[in-house]
């Protein structure tokens, strides 16, 4: 078919008449050649972006990568204001395939402010996949640019700063475990570069917490919780999770603060006498709101929501192992989690592969290893297959009544 690259209006008329494979071939053959400037200015790059989405919906991911690479090579200037849409597709695929690198993030580094709604979920996935080097590349390239931009509301840079904080103390934990000296002044300076104001004494207190064993704290299910206890546990849980599973400190911190948001008594510790057993009784409404809000259509925290949902068993297993909650509460929370997981699997069945970082993790103690393995297989299959709801019912991932 002749491609009228000197007449944008005629090109659009032809493209509108086409559909499916014919439209894809027409768009691909157009963008795969050097285009006149007048044509570039007269056509909406959305044609290319929609075609990438169509390829992804067809499960043709290698073609997505090849087409994106080709357009960047030949007509990169057309993507100047839309690069983050393209890179989000590419990075998702490469993360799942285990071949993403910092080179794939370079354009995001250059303009993290305009791409923030794509950068945040990508960063969350780097955290959950455990790509520490790429996490630090994002932090180092983007923290200051995001912090200093007046267009962004709130503290959009906070995710980067919090990760820098936790990864620093993961490094400190490794040093102390190996018997190496720790330079507290260097830590104070490093944290200061991410707007954490700590004294050397406060840093030493955190290091002392990292060196504490939970069995030596005297914490118990019926003991009253203090603010100091909370600060101590906020470091002991990431340490425990890292030591038991290899999951980085930032994952532990994300789970900790998610639970604090879900537990209605967490804000009352200073005013009321609350025991450990009472504190961690997550409220079902707060739990659902936390997950649903972050799975909302316009939310940039969908990966965060899935990571928290699949990660909560680690936290409640930790509490039960150290006798800080009852078995009854542990069972109730896990039942709540399993119910929500079923909903996520059902309603996001065509894109579960995008959240497969939860199966890079080892199975939590309270999750049946065989079921965890079947679930991992299901997530992986959605990259190349459409899974029917009937199959989800048959293998027990959603209850029959939800069919």
Instruction: Quickly count: other Cβ atoms within 10 Å of residue 223's Cβ.
Output: 14
- Please, is 166 exposed, middle or buried when counting C-beta atoms within 10 Å of its C-beta (0-12, 13-18, 19+)? buried
Q: Please give the pLDDT value at position 403.
A: 47
- pLDDT value at residue 81: 82
For 367-395, write each residue's pLDDT tens digit. 999 999 999 999 999 999 989 988 888 77
What b/e sequence results for 381-403 when a residue is b if at least 16 CB atoms lie within 10 Å of its CB, and e otherwise? ebbeeebeeeebbeeebbeeeee
Confidence of residue 401 (pLDDT cuts 50, 70, 90): low
Whether the pLDDT of residue 24 is over 80: the answer is yes
Max intra-chain CA distance, the chain: 78
pLDDT tier at 396, thresholds 50, 70, 90: confident
| Mean pLDDT along residues 79-88 | 89
Tokens 């994106």, residue? 68
- Give the rounded percent of residues in the chain with a pLDDT score beyond 90: 86
**pLDDT for the residue 200:** 96
> Which of 169, 116, 170 has the alpha carbon at shortest distance from 142?
116
Please identify which residue in the block is written with the tokens 């090579």: 73
pLDDT at 367: 96
Name 291's Cβ contacts closer than 8 Å, sequence gap at least 6. Answer: 305, 308, 309, 340
Neighbours of 249 (CB within 10 A): 25
pLDDT tens digit string along 31-41?
A: 999 999 999 99
Q: The pTM is what?
A: 0.95
pLDDT tens for each residue of 304-332? 999 999 999 999 999 999 999 999 999 99
270 vs 130, residue with greater confidence: 130
Q: What are the residue ranges spanned by the domains of the chain?
A: 217-403
Coil/strand/helix, residue 395: coil
Inform me whether the pLDDT recorded for 402 exceeds 90.
Answer: no
pLDDT tens by residue, 64-75? 999 999 999 999
Q: Is 251 helix (H, G, I), strand (E, B) or coil?
A: helix
């Amino acid at each position: 078919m002749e491609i009228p690259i000197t007449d944008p209006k005629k090109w659009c008329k032809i493209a509108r008449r086409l559909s499916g494979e014919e439209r894809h071939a027409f768009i691909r053959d157009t963008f795969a050649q050097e285009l006149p400037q007048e044509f570039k200015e007269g056509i909406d790059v959305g044609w290319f972006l929609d075609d990438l989405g169509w390829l992804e919906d067809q499960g043709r991911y290698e073609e997505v990568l090849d087409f994106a690479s080709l357009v960047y090579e030949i007509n990169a200037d057309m993507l100047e204001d839309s690069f983050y849409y393209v890179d989000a597709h590419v990075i998702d695929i490469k993360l799942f395939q285990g071949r993403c690198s910092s080179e794939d993030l370079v354009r995001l580094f250059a303009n993290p402010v305009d791409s923030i709604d794509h950068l945040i979920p990508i960063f969350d996935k780097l955290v959950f996949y455990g790509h520490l080097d790429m996490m630090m590349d994002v932090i180092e390239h983007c923290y200051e640019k995001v912090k200093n931009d007046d267009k962004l509301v709130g503290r959009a840079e906070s995710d980067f700063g919090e990760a820098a904080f936790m990864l620093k103390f993961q490094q400190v934990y490794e040093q102390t475990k190996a018997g190496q000296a720790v330079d507290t002044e260097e830590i104070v300076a490093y944290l200061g570069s991410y707007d954490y104001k700590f004294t050397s004494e406060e840093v030493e207190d955190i290091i002392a917490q990292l060196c504490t064993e939970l069995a030596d704290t005297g914490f118990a299910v019926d003991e009253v919780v203090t603010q100091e206890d909370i600060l101590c546990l906020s470091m002991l849980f990431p340490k425990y999770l890292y030591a038991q599973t290899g999951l980085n400190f930032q994952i532990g911190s994300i789970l900790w603060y998610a639970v604090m948001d879900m537990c209605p008594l967490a804000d009352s510790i200073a005013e009321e006498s609350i025991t450990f057993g009472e504190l961690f009784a997550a409220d079902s409404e707060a739990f659902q709101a936390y997950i649903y809000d972050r799975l909302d259509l316009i939310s940039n925290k969908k990966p965060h929501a899935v990571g928290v949902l699949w990660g909560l068993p680690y936290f409640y297993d930790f509490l039960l192992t150290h006798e800080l909650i009852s078995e009854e509460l542990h069972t109730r929370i896990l039942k709540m989690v399993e119910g929500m997981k079923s909903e996520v699997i059902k309603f996001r069945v065509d894109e579960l592969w995008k959240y497969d970082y939860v199966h890079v993790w080892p199975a939590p103690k309270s999750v049946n290893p065989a079921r965890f393995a079947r679930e991992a297989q299901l997530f992986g299959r959605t990259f190349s297959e459409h899974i029917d709801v009937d199959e989800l019912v048959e293998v027990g991932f959603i209850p029959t009544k939800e069919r």
